[in-house]
Chain A
Amino acid sequence: MNFDTANARVDFRAPATQGASEVALFVAAQLQANRLHFQSSYTFGCKSRGVFDDLFAAAESAREAGWDGYGAEPVSQDAYDYAYRFLESLPLGTPSPVVTAEPDGQLAFEWYASPYRTLSVSVSREGDLHYSALFGPSNARGTEVFLGEAPKPILDLIRRVHAA
């Protein structure tokens, strides 16, 4: 099996907006299109920085059971699709994460400053975002359902990890 991005079954490309009018939908669609365009730019987006390639490579390397030598679960197409959309949903200028696969078949994104100042977000096949951050002795953790936009608690933690 190869991971298929072009035919992703999980589609959040429809504009995310609270408004229902034609104008609101048009504006949201334009914003979405612009964000995807800028994701392709070196300066603003993750795409040109190879993170999407890393995501594909991480999923591919974990597509068969036992990929870690210990009996790990394979990464599913659904987990890959959700992870792809999550990455796409990150605001422009967000620091690039490192992408890995986890033994339970989830894909993980890590933002890292040091072993005690780090955030990891796991994406499940159901579209849940499980996260845990270490800041010295304190910890922030939880689960957010991914509905097409990067959840604010996770964005706040990314900023905190990378704060000067």
Chain B
Amino acid sequence: MIAFGPLPQVAADELLARFVAVEKWIRADNTIRQDAFIPPRDLNLSVTRHRLLSEEQLWEIGQTVANAVSQKQPARLFGRADVSVAAVAKTALRAEAVPVAANPNHAHIIGWPQDKPKQKFIAQQLAAAATFVAKKPL
């Protein structure tokens, strides 16, 4: 159970996790493909703030992402792409706290352009700046 008081806005020195339940988004060299950072149509890219979470708690939240897929097809959590708020800011995007019941650390990366090539360029930059952390099998 993860419980917090009122959460502050996302700070510049924070780390954000984008959980990956799609194996093809991870390259053989353990880097992450741009696909993991392409925004959905509403242009709110969901991430989880590391703030105050242990590794175990982070993976617990990540597992809910994989569980959402496994309701439709076989799925597992492969890992997470960690990216700093500073790297997000370099692309002129920003992170905004959007707590939800199951994940008080939930946030959105917002400010995406509508233009798809520009989205891809930003996603490539975020992917290049991100560190992939593999989920160890149980």
Contact = CB atoms under 8 A, between A and B. Distances in A.
Q: Which of A72, A99, A122, A132 has the most CB of B within 10 A?
A: A132
Given A58-B24, A130-B117, A143-B117, A69 B68 contact: yes
Contacts of B67: 69
A131 interface: yes
Given A66-B69, A134-B125, A71 B120 contact: no
A75 interface: no
Q: Which of A69, A72, A104 has the most CB of B within 10 A?
A: A69
B91 to A, nearest CB: 12
B117 A64 contact: no
**Interface residues of B, dominant DSSP:** helix
A142 interface: yes
Interface residues of A, number: 37
Interface size class of B (residues with CB under 8 A): 20 to 34
Contacts of B127: 115
A122 B65 contact: no
Interface stretch (B9-17, B36-44, B51-59, B94-102): B36-44
A110 B24 CA distance: 11
B65 A104 contact: no
Contacts of A110: 33-34
Contacts of B34: 108, 110, 118, 120, 132
Contacts of A71: 40
A88 interface: no
B120 A131 contact: yes
Interface in B108-132: 116-118, 120-121, 124-125, 127-128
Given A103-B39, A141-B120, A142-B117, 14 more contacts: A69-B66, A69-B67, A98-B24, A101-B24, A103-B40, A104-B41, A115-B124, A118-B124, A122-B120, A130-B116, A132-B120, A132-B121, A134-B124, A134-B128
Interface of A: 58, 61, 64, 66-73, 98-104, 106, 108, 110, 112, 115-116, 118, 120, 122, 124, 128, 130-132, 134, 139, 141-143
List the 7 closest A-B pairs by CB distance, nearest first: A69-B65, A132-B120, A141-B117, A115-B128, A130-B116, A69-B68, A132-B121
